[in-house]
Homo-oligomer: A and B are copies of this chain.
Amino acid sequence: MSDEQTTARALVARVRDFVRDTVIPVETEHAGIVHSPDRDPAVEVALRAELQAAARSAGLSVPQLPVDWGGRGLDHRAQADVFEAAGYSLFGPLALNIAAPDEGNMHLLLHAASDAQRERWLRPLAAGGIHSAFAMTEPPPGAGSDPRALATRAERVAGGWRIDGDKWFITGARGAGLVIVLARTAGEPGDAGGATMFLVPGDAPGLTIERDVRTLDTGLFGGHSVVRFDGVVVDEEAVLGEVDGGFAAAQVRLAPARLTHCMRWLGLAGRAHDLAVGHVTGRRAFGSAIADLGLAQQHLADNEIDLAAARAIIRETALVLDEGGDTGGRAGTASSIAKTFVAEAVGRVVDRSVQLAGGQGVSEELLLARYWREVRPFRIYDGSSETHRWSIAQRAVRAYRKGLRHDLPD
């Protein structure tokens, strides 16, 4: 084993211990809920502060960022193991400050922002002083599975831009210090180009959180909100990357953010499996430990297989990103395939775990039912399985027409 690998494994072990000793007790107490429209937002804020302080003290915060930004400069392959270990609790990624959407936003700022923008926004994000949102999705008929339908507009005004439009399912918008918004600066909804990204302060006049969408998942800080931009004015410094280059800039975030989602959810699927294994080893039916009954064995084995395959495809995709960069065809295709597989595998694992736990599996007093709700949207968020399959199929056909054979084992 190389020195690097030894160091990486030691870090993973520390994260696992931290999650077990510090995070899981808090998760249990809060029954896995971070956000709920019914809940006092102050509870969320306090919880986040407490968990992040603990992780910082332990030196485990933002490990994926370069040392200059407070992290350890982990490459994607090393992130895979660390993020999975953090994901073993719903609150683990929040504690390490590697939860969505902050983690993806930090990545985007690191790679696409100017020095000044990084100092202004990445610095406090990395330190946990603020958190952020990524505002791309719009209510129909706007940008959804097809980003080209983008309808939010940004018009040039004196000294900057004025942004108008509606966004929804914007995770973490409530309380965000920074909202990264994608708006159309050229063309019409349906056009392939003409989008620009803007860095908008969360308290910008005209930016309103209309309401929260009540969803099956409650583990993401700040929930998912409907956000209105009503004459929000920003200066030129707010443009992230190139004007009209927003779709390309979004690519920087796309593939890695998909993959870190997979890593975190894989961790949670492993936890659900462990809870189920614990249940079946401790309960009896028909005169045997449930664990020894054949139909339980089928579920247990299928879980092990799904977890191993999901871990493998994540790691191999991380190597693709590490080698070839975060954007471009191979990263896009590989991360699209990985996301589709992992989202479904995670769903299957948690569903089987619920089934193994029987009546207790459907009790919301335990974490399993909560996890089951929590992972469901992952097959829809971040590109639904259907959208990904459509695009995977199209690329396969396109590659074939160009004369490429599939079997390129790289």
Closest to A85 in B: B409
The A interface is mostly helix, strand or loop, or mixed, namely: helix
The interface-forming segment of A97-105, A106-114, A240-248, A278-286 is A278-286
Complex interface residues of chain A between 19 and 78 (CB less than 8 A to chain B): none
Closest to A408 in B: B16
Residues of B within 8 A of A388 (CB): 301
Closest to A338 in B: B308
Closest to A12 in B: B409
Q: Does A115 contact B (CB under 8 A)?
A: no
Nearest CB on B from A394, distance (A): 7
Q: Does A315 contact B (CB under 8 A)?
A: yes
Q: Does A4 contact B (CB under 8 A)?
A: no
Closest to A365 in B: B214
- Give A141 to B284 CA distance when docked, in angstroms: 7
- Give A302 to B341 CA distance when docked, in angstroms: 9
Closest to A357 in B: B380
Q: Across the interface, do A309 and B407 meet the contact criterion of CB distance under 8 Å? A: no
Q: Across the interface, do B274 and A390 meet the contact criterion of CB distance under 8 Å? A: no
Nearest CB on B from A376, distance (A): 6
Residue among B213, B354, B401 making CB contact with A376, cutoff 8 Å: B354
Closest to A84 in B: B409
Which one of A277, A301, A317, A385 has the greatest number of beta carbons of chain B within 10 Å? A301
Nearest CB on B from A58, distance (A): 18
Q: Does A358 contact B (CB under 8 A)?
A: yes
Complex interface residues of chain A between 135 and 170 (CB less than 8 A to chain B): 137, 140-141, 144-146, 149, 168-169
Complex interface residues of chain A between 271 and 305 (CB less than 8 A to chain B): 271, 273-274, 277-278, 280-281, 283-287, 291-305
Which one of A1, A144, A287, A358 has the greatest number of beta carbons of chain B within 10 Å? A358
Q: Does A251 contact B (CB under 8 A)?
A: no
Residues of B within 8 A of A273 (CB): 406
Residues of B within 8 A of A408 (CB): 16
Q: Across the interface, do B298 and A298 meet the contact criterion of CB distance under 8 Å? A: yes
Q: Across the interface, do B144 and A285 meet the contact criterion of CB distance under 8 Å? A: yes
Q: Across the interface, do B380 and A362 meet the contact criterion of CB distance under 8 Å? A: yes
Given A307-B406, A369-B215: A380 and B393 within 8 A (CB)?
Answer: no
Q: Does A379 contact B (CB under 8 A)?
A: yes
Q: Does A230 contact B (CB under 8 A)?
A: no
Given A85-B409, A144-B359, A380-B355: A311 and B316 within 8 A (CB)?
Answer: yes
Q: Across the interface, do B137 and A214 meet the contact criterion of CB distance under 8 Å? A: no
Closest to A388 in B: B301
Which one of A271, A277, A315, A409 has the greatest number of beta carbons of chain B within 10 Å? A409
Which one of A286, A307, A393, A394 has the greatest number of beta carbons of chain B within 10 Å? A393
Q: A274-B405, A304-B392 are in contact. List 8 more A-B contacts (CB 8 A).
A: A85-B409, A140-B284, A274-B400, A295-B386, A301-B388, A308-B337, A309-B313, A354-B376
> Which A residues are closer than 8 A to B by beta carbons?
1, 9, 12, 16, 80-81, 84-85, 88, 137, 140-141, 144-146, 149, 168-169, 190, 213-217, 267, 270-271, 273-274, 277-278, 280-281, 283-287, 291-305, 307-309, 311-313, 315-317, 323, 334, 337-338, 340-341, 354-355, 358-359, 361-365, 369, 372-373, 376-377, 379-381, 384-390, 392-394, 396-397, 400-401, 405-410
Task: Pick 11 A–B contacts, CB within 8 A, sort by A.
Answer: A1-B323, A12-B409, A146-B286, A216-B364, A274-B406, A281-B397, A294-B295, A300-B397, A305-B341, A311-B316, A312-B315
